[in-house]
Amino acid sequence: MTKKRGTDSTSGKTPAVGMNRRDFFKAGAAAGVGAAALAAPVAAPAAGHEAGPGGITWDYEVDVLICGGGCAGITAAIRARDAGASVLVVDANYDLGGRMLHSGSFLSLGGGDVIQKRDMAGEADAEGYITVPPVEDPAELDDNVDLLFTDVTDWSIVDPKAQSPYRYNEREMMRAWAENCPPTREFLMANYVRFTRVSGTHGGGGLSRARAPYCFLMLGDVTDIRKGTITAEDAGLADAERTSPFAPVKMEDATSLVGPGAVRNGVALARPLEFSMREKGVHIMLNRHFDDLIREEPFAGRVVGIRASYTPRIHPVSGQRLESFWQNGNIDERRPSVNIRARKAVILASGGHAGNPEIRSMFYGAMREPAFPTSGMALLGPAAQDGTALKAALRVGANMAGMQQNLSYPTTFHIASRLGTRDAYTDMYPGHPTFAFRGATGLAVGGSGFEEFIAVNQVGKRFFNEIRLPKRPGANRYPGDKAAPGQGLDHKPLDWRNCAAEWVRQSYTYDHGLDAALAMNEGSKAPHYHSGSLWAIMDQDTIDRTGWELRFPFVNESNGYFFKADTIQELAGKIFAGHPYARIPLSHLGTTVDTWNGYVAAGADPEFEREKDGPMYAIAKPPFYALSIMVVWHDSYGGLRCNGRHQVIDMDGQPIPGLYAGGEAVGGFNKHGLGKGHVQGFIAGTFAAAELG
């Protein structure tokens, strides 16, 4: 067990700072300002407001400037505001929340946090919403900072993909993260977030203890963030085939972890934090993409601000600009570009690089294929996960960390089991303003549904055993996921047996269906040799057998990801004519279906031995259907190198003055989910607000 260290300046511990409230200054005229009014507006830089580097004129000025309004950004904003700083959040999307808003809200922290202790004692929450007993035994919750730090730096763990998920984590950053997990949990609770019973641990959060509850709200007659209630309409539950502007993804039943009437998902995390942030006077500039950092010298001096461009999201049907659910605190700035000065610090929390094929291809060249998106693309918009933080920081001298860790976590890139929509990671129904950008909810068939059809590539050929295609290895988390020989409380950290060759051979379960899907084929042409789109091919017997509903909103014949035809040849032609990423006709589709039907008649699949894994069904009864199969790149794990204070580090190992980062913009931490971003935002907001006294 690692001995807990003292209050080193790089540990990330919360400093005792007393700060004066700073006004938020604006130079120039805004098109419109929300309920939280700006202080001391001036028409030009006032006396004492020096011009920026290179004679830049500042359009806005603030203490702490945060790029990105997701889990790290909102947490950092509240933390800095609580410390007395004036704060502005800039986000490219029309609304706040980022990935957090469409997440499952499974928030793994630990280290002996207050929710672990509550469940250890068998207590309920103070409001009395929780009426079910704890899920985990007290011993499974008996945690501390040293054990958590050991877990997230454990050299001995080799996961079922034969990767080392904890070995390469940045140690200073991990110590700061572990120390700040308990106070971050309390911080979230103080800002209206409510937690269910603890149930396991999220991937990358360690193998020794249970550390993760979900976030919940209670169904009620009104949506009241302070009281923790939400209406069925706002939760997206009043209509089976509609969501709401408040909840892009339907909230899920949380009865088993809370009690009757409880619902959970990212709405129960993102909306309370946003509410608190706006309530405390943080300003928000939406529809504004962070483009560049402004530093005193190209590779020297402080980072003093950003340049940001106007990126309105226009509804494809109405032609109207999308507007955020809440408006108070919004600054409606519509000039093409503005320069914003940060008197204390800039915090980069604008997400990772999962939506940028050119960046992600440095980890897996085949993922330069633009047909395959990042998760939540409709909700987050075209600028989502575009790697801006990484690119901008590199231009001012930043270093990187953990770039190889993208290859480890099983949801980094994976085959989704929702068919017929490009935005296949989560569902969404009509009722949310961004539904039109995806056009269909998608058909959720689950892993077992892959036995009902054949999967073909861009030329119409099968490429793998369909039943095994969506399988993914475990996520190296408590109580084990076969990432170590000892499961649950029998796990022994730092034990060489965890990575012994015999155990690795036994535990290895990676099936390589994803890699077969990304393989080159006859349609892969120079210079990029893209693998192209993937299709589930089925017939009317499939629909009759499964009961799948091939109708709106689940599928949409006009969105380019679902096609129907009376013959296989006609189906191939429709895909080529109507799919936005079709580069070559599916010339082999007819032969592939005929060959498959012969295999079904013979009871054997000599190409992929599918008969060993499940049933085989002929594709013979018209009409015939094609639904897209998506490879989705979800998380980003490589990114900027940071120290324990979440200052961005340069190529010489020194902090870049005035620059912090958190969330998926940061590398060196192979942890999935929200726990990474919230703690890093908590740390960054703390130290950014303390800059320059």
> How many Å apart are CA 599 and CA 503, to the nearest integer?
37
* CATH for 413-474+509-632 (3.40.50.300, 3.40.50.180, 3.90.700.10, 3.40.109.10): 3.90.700.10
Q: What is the pLDDT of residues 484-530, one digit of tens each?
A: 898 899 999 999 999 999 999 999 989 999 999 999 999 999 999 99
Confidence at residue 472, expressed as pLDDT on a 0 to 100 scale: 87
DSSP, residue by residue, 406-467: GGTSTTSEEE-SEES-S--SS---TTSTTGGGT----EE-TGGGGGGSEEE-TTS-B-S-GG
Confidence at residue 3, expressed as pLDDT on a 0 to 100 scale: 31
Percent of the chain residues past pLDDT 90, beyond the cut: 86
In this predicted structure, the answer to whether residue 657 has a pLDDT above a threshold of 60 is yes
pLDDT level of residue 14 (50, 70, 90 thresholds): very low
Confidence at residue 28, expressed as pLDDT on a 0 to 100 scale: 28
Quick one: average pLDDT of 270-276? 98
Confidence at residue 35, expressed as pLDDT on a 0 to 100 scale: 28
**Nearest by Cα to 567 from 626, 522, 616, 523:** 626
Confidence at residue 216, expressed as pLDDT on a 0 to 100 scale: 98
In this predicted structure, the answer to whether residue 430 has a pLDDT above a threshold of 90 is yes
DSSP secondary-structure letter at 2? P
Quick one: average pLDDT of 302-320? 97
Confidence at residue 50, expressed as pLDDT on a 0 to 100 scale: 67
Which residues, at least 6 apart from 560, have a Cβ–Cβ distance to it below 8 Å? 578, 579, 580
Quick one: average pLDDT of 9-22? 30
pLDDT level of residue 483 (50, 70, 90 thresholds): confident
How many CB atoms lie under 10 A from the CB of residue 217?
A: 33
Q: How far is CA 269 from the centre of its chain?
A: 14
> How many Å apart are CA 425 and CA 440, to the nearest integer?
13
Q: Answer for the pair 312, 321: CB distance below 8 angstroms, yes or no.
A: yes
In this predicted structure, the answer to whether residue 1 has a pLDDT above a threshold of 50 is no
In this predicted structure, the answer to whether residue 41 has a pLDDT above a threshold of 50 is no
**Nearest by Cα to 652 from 639, 641, 637:** 641
**Nearest by Cα to 477 from 232, 157, 692:** 157
Quick one: average pLDDT of 358-385? 94
In the numeric block, which tokens belong to residue 492? 């022994």
19 dihedral zone (left: phi>0; alpha: psi -120 to 50; beta): beta
In this predicted structure, the answer to whether residue 38 has a pLDDT above a threshold of 60 is no
Give the Å distances, CA to CA, from 238 to 221, 224, 235, 241.
12, 17, 8, 9
Confidence at residue 492, expressed as pLDDT on a 0 to 100 scale: 95
User: Which range among 37-41, 51-55, 609-613 shows the weakest confidence by mean pLDDT?
Assistant: 37-41
Structurally, at CATH architecture level, domain 25-101+284-352+387-409+634-689 sits in: 3-Layer(bba) Sandwich (3.50)
Quick one: average pLDDT of 31-40? 31
Which residues, at least 6 apart from 664, have a Cβ–Cβ distance to it below 8 Å? 72, 99, 351, 352, 354, 385, 635, 636, 639, 677
In this predicted structure, the answer to whether residue 188 has a pLDDT above a threshold of 80 is yes
User: Which range among 215-229, 370-384, 404-418 shows the weakest confidence by mean pLDDT?
Assistant: 404-418
Confidence at residue 325, expressed as pLDDT on a 0 to 100 scale: 97
Q: Domain ranges in the chain?
A: 25-101+284-352+387-409+634-689, 114-167+175-275, 413-474+509-632
Quick one: average pLDDT of 646-658? 98
Can you give the pTM of this predicted structure? 0.93
The mean pLDDT of the chain is: 91
> How many Å apart are CA 124 and CA 446, to the nearest integer?
35
In this predicted structure, the answer to whether residue 46 has a pLDDT above a threshold of 50 is no
Q: Answer for the pair 557, 615: CB distance below 8 angstroms, yes or no.
A: no
